Amino acid sequence: MSAGPAAGPLVSVRGVHRTYGTGAATVHALRDVSFDLTPGTMVALVGRSGSGKTTLLNVIGGLDRPDAGTVRVDGVEVTALDEDGLARLRRERVSYVFQTFGLIPVLSAAENVGAPLRLARMPAAERERRVGLLLELVGLAGHAEQRPGELSGGQQQRVAIARALAASPRLLIADEPTGQLDAETGLSVMALLRGVVESEGVTALVSTHDPTMIALADRVIRIRDGRLDGQEAP
């Protein structure tokens, strides 16, 4: 993956279609979707369940391939990458935060955050410094040795965010990151993501339903039946 950082938009989506099934069972998950994301912004992706939000996030992050159209992230054409290239993209440029936290139960908070850095073979001293800085950033410096089962849901999600930031990604994709949290905890997690965008300089694309959380975003993209708001049906 030799392309350097993008000079224009960090993310550029052009004419993306994604269809599942055939015949009467056909589902048009994405229909001719196009937009750009500016570097260093927090963008809320809003739509009802089944609107195409998760499919769009997966296509942008290289977890799914569109049937047509192109996606570029940080100067790299995601839709042209082979499996090795997609793995490098997710290791070096794109990170994920999910509803279900996805932490490794037997590892401490610090070990979970440091796992991507171990895979990248970062030297131990440098890795420990980075992990310490990230746990401090998410307000969990005093919980480094606790395992996920000893943490609240909100704390686990903060660990997941710290882990997602470990390798200094350019794009952070969060799919309903507050879906399993109460309203107050969810708002604090969204406020944390807002702060991360400003302090780490990442671009965050966050799917959510919550109007209070949407208010924290720099921009809102609304999707309905696989089309962005304002698109006309063909």
Residue with tokens 């069972």: 25
Structural domain total, the chain: 1
Residue 142: inside a domain, yes or no?
Answer: yes
Residue 84: inside a domain, yes or no?
Answer: no
Residue 162 sits in which domain range? Answer: 104-166
- Which of 109, 98, 100 lies closest to 150 in space, CA to CA? 109
pTM, full prediction: 0.88
Residue 110: inside a domain, yes or no?
Answer: yes
Residue 144: inside a domain, yes or no?
Answer: yes
Residue 202: inside a domain, yes or no?
Answer: no
Residue 180: inside a domain, yes or no?
Answer: no
Residue 132: inside a domain, yes or no?
Answer: yes
pLDDT tens-digit profile, the chain (234 residues) = 444 444 589 999 999 999 998 888 889 999 999 999 999 999 999 998 889 999 999 999 999 999 999 999 999 999 999 999 999 998 889 999 988 888 999 999 999 999 999 988 999 999 999 999 999 999 999 999 999 999 999 999 999 999 999 989 999 999 988 888 888 888 888 888 888 898 888 999 999 887 877 888 999 999 999 999 865 444
Residue 133: inside a domain, yes or no?
Answer: yes
